[in-house]
């Protein structure tokens, strides 16, 4: 087995022959440049939603759980509002009909 000396600087002439020449570091600039270019992400600004990046409010889970119930209540509220409007319109029609009827009676009295 042959001895190879890399770090040891021998004083003996016979051992100096076995000493390996100093190693030259390999150029890694090209490799590093390729890795850096591959690591650069393309801008994805169009796909990023800023609302998702913002931290959620502490009560977001409560709102999520109550949302279904609120939908039902919203439907009921809209039905109730529509019914109240219908009742008011019926009341106005009756008032209008009575006002028209009284106007006809006054018009026939004056003739």
Dump pLDDT digits (tens) for 8-67. Answer: 888 888 888 888 888 887 788 888 888 888 877 666 566 656 666 667 777 777 888 888
Do the beta carbons of residue 5 and residue 20 sit within 8 Å? yes
Structure token pair of residue 105 = 């009676």
Dump pLDDT digits (tens) for 52-86. Answer: 666 777 777 788 888 888 999 999 999 999 999 99
Boundaries of every domain in the chain: 62-106
**Per this entry, what is the length of the chain?**
111
Sign of the Cα pseudo-torsion (10, 15, 16, 19, in order): negative
């Amino acid at each position: 087995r042959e001895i190879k000396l890399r770090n040891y600087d021998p004083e003996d002439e016979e051992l100096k022959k076995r000493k390996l020449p100093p190693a030259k570091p390999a150029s890694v600039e090209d490799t590093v440049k390729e890795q850096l270019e591959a690591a650069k992400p393309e801008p994805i600004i169009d796909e990023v939603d800023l609302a998702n990046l913002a931290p959620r409010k502490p009560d977001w889970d409560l709102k999520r759980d109550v949302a279904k119930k609120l939908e039902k209540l919203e439907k009921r509220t809209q039905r109730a509002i529509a019914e109240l409007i219908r009742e008011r319109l019926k009341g106005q029609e009756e008032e209008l009909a009575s006002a028209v009827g009284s106007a006809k009676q006054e018009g026939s009295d004056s003739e």
